[in-house]
Amino acid sequence: MDYSAILNAAGIFIYGMMGIVAIYGVICVVLLLRKIGQKRFSNPNAQAEFLDEVGELCKKRRFDEVAEMCDTPGLWSKAVPQLIIVALQNQDRSPQKLRRLVAEQFEREILADLEYRLSWINTIVKSAPMLGLLGTVIGMIMAFQTIAGSADTGTDPTALAEDIGIALFTTALGLTIAIPLVLAAAFTNVRIGKLQDAVQEAVGIFLDDFESARKSA
């Protein structure tokens, strides 16, 4: 039975899917990097200045002003101000429970979202070579069909080379998509790690200042 039409259609479909996967992968990387940028301060000095200002307000027990400052448009989307607001909303808890609550909030509301977005990039990294392998299998099937039909029509080297070319090209295309995304995933993973370290350090400093202010009441 001749499956040439089906195989040709499948080949076109695979090329289309690989294009979609590549575009979606780039979009995921851009959105993830943008999300990380929103959650972190532009530089360590900006974070230090913010913490100094918050610390001064805490010493004066002006917690409402701290909450208002964290809720301003330039800061409300960043991780540290968000967690400070959570701490202020639950200041009736003991220091140990408050630290645990803030850590859980960070993992659940911020890190989980970033890791979810990163998982899509990893899924695309795995999917692109698999699509390339599927194209390779289809190309080899078409090549074998060409060889099988050569008994009646004679082998057409051009047709055979085209089928083998499709088989090899889809594999190469899948790897071409996957390799840059592997590097992008590693880069974003490092950025997430740096964000996590910076947030944990900043929140720790705030909670120390906050507990000192509460004890001095």
Q: Is the pLDDT of residue 21 over 70?
A: yes
Reported pTM: 0.83
Determine contact, residues 3/145, Cβ cutoff 8 Å.
yes
Range of the domain at 21: 4-215
Residue 110 to residue 83: CA distance in whole angstroms:
10
- pLDDT per position as a tens digit, 111-169: 999 999 999 999 999 999 999 888 888 888 877 777 766 655 555 666 667 767 777 88
Residue 58 to residue 141: CA distance in whole angstroms:
72
Residue 173 to residue 165: CA distance in whole angstroms:
12
**What total number of domains does the chain contain?**
1
* Number of residues written out for the chain: 217
pLDDT at position 24 is: 94
pLDDT at position 217 is: 59
Residue 27 to residue 14: CA distance in whole angstroms:
20
Dihedral angle of Cα 149, 155, 157, 161, to the nearest 10 degrees: 20
Containing H/E element for 40? Answer: none
- pLDDT per position as a tens digit, 32-86: 999 999 999 989 999 999 999 999 999 989 999 999 999 998 898 999 999 999 9
